[in-house]
Structure 1
Amino acid sequence: MFNNFLKIALRNLKRNKVYSFINIIGLAVGMAVAMLIGLWIYDELSFNKSFQNYDRLAIVMQNQTFNGKVGSQTAVPYLMADEIRKTYGSDFKYVSMSSWNGKHVLSFGEKKIAQSGNYFEPQITEMLSLKMLKGTRKALKETHSIILSESVAKALFDKADPMDKLLKIDNNFTVKVSGVYEDLPFNSDFQDLNFIAPWDLYINDNNWPEKTTDPWRSNAFQAFAQIADHADMDKVSVKIKDVKLKRVSKVNAAFKPEVFLHPMKKWHLYSEFKDGKNVGGRIQFVWLFGIIGSFVLLLACINFMNLATARSEKRAKEVGIRKAIGSMRSQLIGQFFSESVLVSVFALLLSLVLVQLTLPYFNQLSNKQISILWTSPLFWTSGISFSLFTGLIAGSYPALYLSSFQPVKVLKGTFQAGRFASAPRKVLVVLQFTVSITLIIGTIIVFQQIQFAKNRPSGYDRSGLINILMNTPDFKGHYNALRNDLLKTGAVAEMSQSSGPTTGISAINNGYEWDGKDPSIQGNLGTVAITHDFGKSIGWTFAAGRDFSRNFSTDSSGIILNEAAAKFMGFKDPIGKTVKADGKPYKVIGVIKDMVMESPYQPVFRTVYMLDYEWANFINLKINPKMSSSQALAKIESVFKKYNPSAPFDYWFVDDEYARKFGDEERIGKLAGVFTVLAIFISCLGLFGLASFVAEQRTKEIGIRKILGASIFNVWRLLSKDFVSLIIISLLISAPAAYLFMNNWLQKYEYRTEISWWIFLVSGMGAMAITLLTVSFQAIKAAVANPVKSIRTE
């Protein structure tokens, strides 16, 4: 019997090629979208799960209160790990201090590469359960040692054995390779941890213990922890709350530091904090794409069911004849279900092909390394189960409804489908376009928010501006000579140095005092050390006062404020005012217009700029606009090789770095845009099929109308008006829903766009135009048909 069902199902699919094609393609595209989104969500949810101690690892964070506002940060004092081990040792298995992951120059002989790495205490190898390919996890016991990732070891030593080889870090100190570990997974927060060097090497080299008079004041490092096997993460987090408060000075105790553990399982999806509380993070994107995937798949299923129910009425006589010659109702039900399931299975197979073909593009768009989980039982179980479920649901209407017809009525022609037979299909069309229009509105608002932030005045000129990290000591003491040589090439318009990149504030100091300061507020301001010519390099704009100048020796005790800092201090006329930084007096010589150095979605942070050639870590170069970038960079590189021969010429354009700040939003916008186009495509497929069915149903009516004088336009209007009314209803439902959802999404940005009325108008008109284009093909085809043939058609 099954073979018979299968043969008949295949014949029906072959006979109705257009409907079969629309059904299979529409459902396959919907399944493919759902599969891609499912793989993306799986990758997001499995972030960091490759680490064996995933459930017991955490980063040590702290909340501090500044002027009544609680801020959360991962930066902690360098004594944090020692204090936790000493006071709460029984609750922890390991605690490891860490520097910040950053690029360093690794050199072996003539080979020099810039790689991201970090300095950790030795326990980190056990905490991250590193898979050692050479050496052991105890490889960091010696101070002058280093362990490399497999890819870095290959890049430095090719096929040679790297063990015990000597190499240099930043041309500063020599270390011995004591281990090689397998590259860490791309979907982890340590994906770019390409080497690990000992923490003691970093601390001793920087003389940190000797440099600080108050070791608990400065928050310049990270601390990672693994709780004991018997411990509970939440309870331990509460227990260590006052570990810093008990040791800070009275002045710093005013910031009410509260230490807590942020579990690794929350790093990726729950990384955002507000007023000291976790408020989510990327988990909102997981929910967003989960909803989009569900809706796109729903659209495909609606298409499937719509066309299945529409075509079912054409098969009423078939059911009558089958019943008349003895077919049982259960056999008819089995036949209709088998046809639906067969279409669903074909769609599943096609969707797998589509996913495999589009994965490279999808990975590039989403910044992922996703692959189909061919070996996962859950993947196959989910796919096959869904395929069967969809087939059964779609086939339920024709199977249960048509199989109940009385053969006598059907064969006599007295069977009527009923005036409300098309109502379910209309409801489904409205639902389809409600989803599609909502997606269109949402995608436009996402792109509008990105563009709104991009168009925000940055306060400086990013064009042709590059940053270079001074990651070797070779630069020290050569500032003027390097600057002069660069200017002589004609490739550089200006050069300066600073303590941080142009797109970030590397230090916040809370030791500022000034006349008229409210004793109840803390003077925490961003602090950027710069050299002369910094303003000329980046093209900042003055609101008052002047720039630093070599003509004024007193500028070494001068500072420049941004507008946000001047406002925070309450200065109406800041020029000449005295501001103390840790007790040292400085004179305000200028106020610049606010520069967007951090998030373009947040207010500009109050910042102080001061002259300090020793603190500078970054070089800022303004390329001569009259010279091509490639030509200029070649000349700049030759100068850098002269002064920094131990490192590769590693630079980045500030424009590109600034653009990365929009990365997440742009990826979400592009993915949402792609899925919206596919949702519209699926909806239009269904609309095309329904329009074809309606035109076929009304063939005789159209023929008679034409004979009576109806024009092509009259016929087109007749067939289109019902669909247009359905789109209008969809717009009325989708507009308020989209507004509420997107308005809530925008609230997470302090600097945000307004939702304009034209977005709804454009979305509605776009949906209407797409609908009319889709329906018009079938409508005009029916309108131009020979009316004589139409009337004679059976």
Structure 2
Amino acid sequence: MLKNYIKIAFRNIVKNKVHTFINVAGLSVGMAVAMLIGLWIWDELSFDKYHSSYNRVGQIMVTQTANSETQTFESTVTPLSGELRTKYAGDFKYTALAWWGAHILAVGDKKLSQSGMWAEADLPAILSLKMLKGNYTDFSDPSSFIISQSVATSLFGTANPINKMVKVDNKTNLKVVGVYEDLPHNTSFYETKFMLPFHNKNNWWGTQMGAWDNHGCRIYTLMTDKADFDKVSAKIKNITKPHFKINDETIQVFPMSKWHLYSDFKNSKSVGGRIEMVWLFGIIGVFVLLLACINFMNLSTARSEKRAKEVGIRKAIGSMRSQLINQFLSESVMFAFLALVVTLGIILITLPYFNQIADKEIALPFANIWFWIMALGFTAFTGIVAGSYPAFYLSSFNPVKVLKGTFRVGRFASMPRKVLVVVQFTVSIVLIIGTIIVFRQIQYAKSRPIGYSRAGLISVEMNTPEIYGHYEVMRRDLIQTGAVEDMAESNSTTTQIWSNNSGFTWEGQAPGYDPTFGTIGVTYDFGHTVGWKVSQGRDFSRSFPTDTGGLILNESAVKLSGIRNPVGKVLRWQGQPHVVIGVVKDMVMESPYNKPVATVFMMLPGWVNFITLRVKPTMSMQEALKKIEPVFKKYNPGSPFDFKFNDDLYAHKFSDEQRIGNLATIFAVLAIFISCLGLFGLASFVAEQRIKEIGVRKVLGASVANLWRLLSTEFVVLVTISLFIAIPAAYYYMSNWLLKYEYRSTITWWIFAASGLGALVITLLTVSYHAIKAAMANPVKNLRSE
């Protein structure tokens, strides 16, 4: 019986080539989108599961209430690790401090700039690193460190690196005691290419083991088997309060299983994060696949009259309805398996581009038996879903009416098809509107005034001891190259604020009011280099020796402090008086979607980590870099010239939204493509079904334009109905999406008008081919049998 089903299904597939092409194309595109999204979701859900102790690893999170705002963040104080280790040994098997950063590794003439971390000895055990050579038990020695396999290959080639010496940042000689397997892309520690001993004398944070007021490190933990995250968090909640009383602070242990997908906090509670994107793309994947299944249903039922006699004859000779249902389901499953072959080809071609857009390293796991089980099961399920309605519909025909020639599908038979077309275009229009709003929000934030000029700015991290102490002569040499307009040093780039402090006092300050300010140490020429805009007072100047104790506030800091006419006022910090010499326009240094951070700029030449320089606009960047690099080689010979464009650093802040927009665009285009395939097939069927009517009308004087309008009106009405459903749905969802941004665009009427007009134009272009072809056909030929 099954062999017979397959044979008949194969004959129908071969006989109706256009119908087959449309169905296979629609199903394969829909299945490809669903499979790509499925692979992406699997990658997201398996994030960090590389670590065998995944369910017991945690991170200490700090919640502070300052400036009437509650924030939860990762940076905590260094003494906390030891206190957790000693006082709560029954709950924590291991605790480890860590501090991230880029470092220079050198072996002879080989120099490598990579990202790694200073880490306490238990961190490799917490992360269950897979050691390929050596072990991490020797990592407790402050003169040793462990490296990844890729770093070992870059530095030592095929030679055994164990017990070999490596110079770090041109000042610290460390011995390699272990090589671990490179961490996969879907882990939080992917960029950790080596681990340095936290308690080495050259790690500044290692000297801060008693500093309860300095938040800068992270603490990772491995819980004991019986420990419960919530109960332990409640137990240690107030552990820092006896030591740190400036702000209201609480502590919690945040499980690794939530790091990636549930990283957004509100009032110290995890309230979501990337899991919303997982749900969003999961829903999109289901709907795009549903669109493809709808195409199959529509085209199959539209051809019902052609297969009615087949159903009548088979019923007349004894076929049961269940056998007919199995026959039609067999056909749809065969279509699905044909589409699977095309789907795998589409995925193989598009996966590299998909990975680039999604920032992933996903590969098709052909060697995994579970992949094939899931792929085949998914395909069979798709075929059954796509073929279920046509199977039940076609098998219900009355054989007597069919064989007498009196069978008609009825005036309401097309209603389900119309409903399905409305569903298709509703989904497509929602995706179009959502894509436009996402890109408008990105563009709105990108065009926001940022308070300085990014063009031509370059940042270089000061990563070796040689580069310090040469500010004046290095600045002079760079300017003399003719490529640099100005240069300055600071403790963060223009796109980050790495230090936040409270404890500022001033005359007229309200009792108990202790706001937190972003604190940036700069040199004299910072303002001129970055091009900030002074709104009150003046910039730092060498003409005023007292500026070494001066402050410049941004406008948000003035507003937060409540100081009127701040220029000339004195702020005290850490017991030292500082005079406010100027106020500058707010610079967008953190998220471009949030309000600017209240920031204090201080003359602190000894508290700098970055060099910022501005290239002259009259010189090409390539030529300028050739002149700049030798100066850095002169003052920093132990490090490669590693620089970043501030434009790129700022653009990176839009990466998540840009990724959402790009993926949404692709899915919207594919949804429209699938919907148009269905319309194309239905238009062909409708034109064929009404060919005699068109002939009669043409004989009676109807023009081509009249006939085109007649055949197109039905589809335009369906798309119009879709618009009335899609517009409120899109408005509701996208309004809620925009609410998570403090700095956000508005949803204007033209977005819906443009989306609706675009959908109507696409519909008309799709159906016009068959409509015009039918309208221009010779009526004599079509009416010959009448």
Band the TM-score falls in, shorter-chain normalisation: over 0.9
Partner of 1:781: 773
Q: Are 1:539 and 2:531 an aligned pair?
A: yes
Partner of 1:669: 661
Task: Report the CA distance between 1:279 and its aligned residue.
Answer: 1.9
CA contact (8 A) 2:332 2:386 kept: yes
Q: Are 1:32 and 2:32 an aligned pair?
A: yes
Change (3 A) 1:414 1:632: same
Q: Secondary structure of 1:265's partner? A: helix
Q: Please list the CA deviations of residues 730-772 of structure 1 after superposition, one character each: whole Å capped at 9, or x if unmatched.
A: 0000100001101111111111111111110000000000000
Partner of 2:83: 83
Task: Report the CA distance between 1:209 and its aligned residue.
Answer: 7.3
- Alpha-carbon distance in 2 for matches of 1:597, 1:438: 34
Q: Are 1:51 and 2:51 an aligned pair?
A: yes
Q: Are 1:613 and 2:588 an aligned pair?
A: no
- Alpha-carbon distance in 2 for matches of 1:661, 1:446: 15
Q: Which of 400, 403, 408 is residue 411 of structure 1 equivalent to?
A: 403
Task: Report the CA distance between 1:7 and its aligned residue.
Answer: 2.0
Task: Report the CA distance between 1:520 and its aligned residue.
Answer: 3.1
Q: Which of 599, 603, 609 is residue 595 of structure 2 equivalent to?
A: 603
User: Which one-letter code corresponds to 1:711 in the other structure?
Assistant: S
- Alpha-carbon distance in 2 for matches of 1:41, 1:329: 40
Structure 2: gaps spanning 5 or more residues: none
Q: Secondary structure of 1:516's partner? A: coil
After superposition, residues 209-608 of structure 1 pair within 5 angstroms as: 215-246=211-242, 248=243, 252-608=244-600
Q: Secondary structure of 2:611's partner? A: strand
Q: Secondary structure of 1:792's partner? A: coil
- Alpha-carbon distance in 2 for matches of 1:92, 1:397: 57
Partner of 1:122: 121
- Alpha-carbon distance in 1 for matches of 2:686, 2:544: 85
Change (3 A) 1:424 1:124: same
Q: Are 1:632 and 2:631 an aligned pair?
A: no
User: Which one-letter code corresponds to 1:174 in the other structure?
Assistant: N
| Regions of 4+ moved over 6 Å | 209-212
- Alpha-carbon distance in 1 for matches of 2:470, 2:153: 34
Task: Report the CA distance between 1:377 and its aligned residue.
Answer: 4.4
Q: Secondary structure of 2:379's partner? A: helix
Change (3 A) 1:726 1:626: same
CA contact (8 A) 2:495 2:646 kept: yes
- Alpha-carbon distance in 1 for matches of 2:203, 2:51: 31
Change (3 A) 1:208 1:713: closer
Deviates more, 1:139-148 or 1:435-444: 139-148
Task: Report the CA distance between 1:378 and its aligned residue.
Answer: 4.2
Q: Are 1:96 and 2:89 an aligned pair?
A: no
Partner of 2:176: 177
Q: Please list the CA deviations of residues 445-483 of structure 1 after superposition, one character each: whole Å capped at 9, or x if unmatched.
A: 000110010000111110110000001000122111111
Q: Secondary structure of 1:107's partner? A: strand
CA contact (8 A) 1:67 1:520 kept: no
Change (3 A) 1:397 1:219: closer
Partner of 2:149: 150
What is the RMSD of the two structures over their aligned residues, measured on CA atoms?
1.5
Structure 1: gaps spanning 5 or more residues: none
Q: Are 1:11 and 2:3 an aligned pair?
A: no
Deviates more, 1:131-140 or 1:691-700: 131-140
CA contact (8 A) 2:199 2:206 kept: no
Task: Report the CA distance between 1:715 and its aligned residue.
Answer: 0.6
Task: Report the CA distance between 1:71 and its aligned residue.
Answer: 1.4
Change (3 A) 1:403 1:505: closer
Partner of 2:198: 199
Q: Secondary structure of 1:225's partner? A: strand
User: Which one-letter code corresponds to 1:761 in the other structure?
Assistant: A
CA contact (8 A) 2:433 2:755 kept: yes
Task: Report the CA distance between 1:325 and its aligned residue.
Answer: 4.6
- Alpha-carbon distance in 2 for matches of 1:653, 1:33: 35
Task: Report the CA distance between 1:65 and its aligned residue.
Answer: 1.5
Task: Report the CA distance between 1:402 and its aligned residue.
Answer: 3.0
- Alpha-carbon distance in 2 for matches of 1:389, 1:579: 70
Deviates more, 1:642-651 or 1:158-167: 158-167
Partner of 1:683: 675
Q: Please list the CA deviations of residues 350-382 of structure 1 after superposition, one character each: whole Å capped at 9, or x if unmatched.
A: 212211111001001111000123244443333
- Alpha-carbon distance in 2 for matches of 1:210, 1:160: 35
Q: Secondary structure of 1:365's partner? A: helix
Task: Report the CA distance between 1:403 and its aligned residue.
Answer: 3.0
CA contact (8 A) 1:139 1:147 kept: no
User: Which one-letter code corresponds to 1:562 in the other structure?
Assistant: N
After superposition, residues 753-792 of structure 1 pair within 5 angstroms as: 753-792=745-784
- Alpha-carbon distance in 1 for matches of 2:728, 2:573: 52
- Alpha-carbon distance in 1 for matches of 2:495, 2:584: 16
- Alpha-carbon distance in 1 for matches of 2:324, 2:498: 73
Task: Report the CA distance between 1:4 and its aligned residue.
Answer: 2.4
Identity of aligned residues (%): 57
Deviates more, 1:385-394 or 1:277-286: 385-394
Partner of 1:67: 67
Q: Please list the CA deviations of residues 184-207 of structure 1 after superposition, one character each: whole Å capped at 9, or x if unmatched.
A: 111001001001011101xx3256
Q: Secondary structure of 1:675's partner? A: helix
- Alpha-carbon distance in 1 for matches of 2:774, 2:205: 84
Q: Secondary structure of 2:117's partner? A: strand
CA contact (8 A) 1:465 1:621 kept: yes
Deviates more, 1:228-237 or 1:702-711: 228-237
Partner of 2:614: 622
Task: Report the CA distance between 1:75 and its aligned residue.
Answer: 1.0
User: Which one-letter code corresponds to 1:162 in the other structure?
Assistant: P
Deviates more, 1:386-395 or 1:441-450: 386-395
Q: Please list the CA deviations of residues 640-675 of structure 1 after superposition, one character each: whole Å capped at 9, or x if unmatched.
A: 111111110000000000000000100110001000
User: Which one-letter code corresponds to 2:236 in the other structure?
Assistant: I
Task: Report the CA distance between 1:387 and its aligned residue.
Answer: 2.4
TM-score w.r.t. the length of structure 1 is 0.97
- Alpha-carbon distance in 2 for matches of 1:368, 1:410: 56
- Alpha-carbon distance in 1 for matches of 2:151, 2:196: 14
User: Which one-letter code corresponds to 1:355 in the other structure?
Assistant: I
Deviates more, 1:221-230 or 1:681-690: 221-230
Partner of 1:731: 723
Change (3 A) 1:555 1:430: same
* Count of aligned pairs: 786
- Alpha-carbon distance in 2 for matches of 1:125, 1:679: 46
Partner of 1:22: 22
Q: Please list the CA deviations of residues 130-178 of structure 1 after superposition, one character each: whole Å capped at 9, or x if unmatched.
A: 1111111213121111111100111111122211111111112111111
- Alpha-carbon distance in 1 for matches of 2:707, 2:479: 75
User: Which one-letter code corresponds to 1:524 in the other structure?
Assistant: T
User: Which one-letter code corresponds to 1:240 in the other structure?
Assistant: I
